[in-house]
Amino acid sequence: MAKSKNHSTHHQSRKNHRNGIRRPPKRRFPSLKGVDPKFLRNMRFAKKHNKKAVKVSKE
């Protein structure tokens, strides 16, 4: 006779909550992987020109 039970969630919730379900720690700068390339390119130029403006204002 074929086996029928392959998976059960019994007791899993209790086991998970014993140590608490925690979020992964947040990083200071989240990854930009998968972000629109056009947006990334624009962001790069914006950063570059911000540096120029700061340099001029210090002088």
Low-confidence ranges of the chain (pLDDT < 70): none
User: What is the reported pTM?
Assistant: 0.51
Q: Determine the pLDDT at residue 2.
A: 77
Q: What is the mean pLDDT of the chain?
A: 92
CB neighbour list of residue 32: distance below 8 Å, 6 or more residues apart:
40
How far apart CA 42 and CA 34 sit, in angstroms, is: 15
Q: Could you report the per-residue pLDDT of 32-44, keeping only the tens digit for each?
A: 999 999 999 999 9
Answer yes or no: are the C-beta atoms of 13 and 20 closer than 8 Å: no
